Amino acid sequence: EEAVNEIDETAQRAKLTFVIVGGGPTGVELAGALRQIAVQEIQKDYRNIDTSTARVILVDANDRVLKSFEPSLSARAARDLEKLGVEILLHSRVTAVDEQGVVIGERRIDANNVFWAAGVLASPLGKALGVPLDRSGRVIVAPDLSVPGHPRVFIAGDLASVMDTKNNQPVPGVAPAAMQMGNYIGKLIRNEIVSGVRPEDRPPFEYRDKGSMATIGKAKAIADIKGWKFTGFFAWLIWSLVHLMFLITFRSKVSVMLNWAYTYVFQSAGARLITGDFKPQIRTFRDVTPNG
């Protein structure tokens, strides 16, 4: 909307530039969605600008996007993103962000839209406990998810830093992991109340990885489910079905399914409402012609 009313070409280009920092599932899905919207869904809504010229730049410090996935799936995701027109900058660290753009090493990119998808710090509550933390501020818990030195205090979810006993890798900060932690802690408390199990006899928490998925765009996704790898339309279909399964009511499932079907067929989000105050940038120029 701001780009439509911007008459300065450089400023307009900055308004149509989107930089996403972080090449994990969040960054990849956001990059693909932005390019898809700009190229396929809203072009017809604007006559004074070409939205397909919008730049979407995905920046990551690693050697590939989706580092937590198998290299073959990461490579497929990168190819799909590039086909959509996403610019991928690997081995790149953002060193500064301001209102006009970002600085990547010694390179500056003018962009009015910067999205941080490279992770967040944990709740400051962890610091108040006075126990060891990891670099993200998460509490390094014992194998039974208890706070070191406090066997009756448990931490689950994003605030817990715990290693997977199967591969000695950190348990990812995703919803399935948090749900499993909550169930595990609940069973521990119940067993100690009902059966009198001692804290030193607790079994360690074991994370069950049910698979990972990421969407890149319309009918484009990757999935790794218990060693089975899927790409393209079939992976996107699996991603859609899994999300529908976890909706609470049957009505919600049907409503979302119909909405997705409408969007898929008509390449439209159905309704796009512009809310909030918007002040167009109107500039007047003095007539300097001889007869003016």
- Is residue 290 very low, low, confident or very high in pLDDT (cuts 50, 70, 90)? low
- Is residue 197 very low, low, confident or very high in pLDDT (cuts 50, 70, 90)? confident
Q: Strands, DSSP E only, in 6-138?
A: 17-21, 55-59, 87-89, 94-98, 101-104, 107-110, 113-116
Contact 178, 158 (CB under 8 A): yes
What does the mean pLDDT of the chain come to?
87
Distance of CA 139 to the CA centre of its chain: 23
For the stretch 67-87, pLDDT in tens is: 888 899 999 999 999 999 999
Q: What is the pLDDT of residue 162?
A: 92
Contact 127, 133 (CB under 8 A): yes
For the stretch 234-286, pLDDT in tens is: 998 988 888 888 888 889 888 888 888 877 777 665 555 555 665 655 555 55
For the stretch 119-135, pLDDT in tens is: 778 888 888 888 999 98
At position 60, the amino acid (one-letter code) is: D
Catalytic residues, by residue number, are 29
Contact 54, 85 (CB under 8 A): no
More confident: 282 or 34: 34
**Whether this model's pTM surpasses 0.95:** no
- Is residue 31 very low, low, confident or very high in pLDDT (cuts 50, 70, 90)? very high
Rounded to whole angstroms, the Cα distance separating 24 from 215 reads 11
Least confident of 111-115, 196-200, 286-290: 286-290
Is residue 230 pLDDT above 80, yes or no? yes
Contact 223, 230 (CB under 8 A): yes
For the stretch 3-21, pLDDT in tens is: 988 889 999 999 999 999 9
Q: Which of 169, 263, 172 is nearest to 212 (CA)?
A: 172
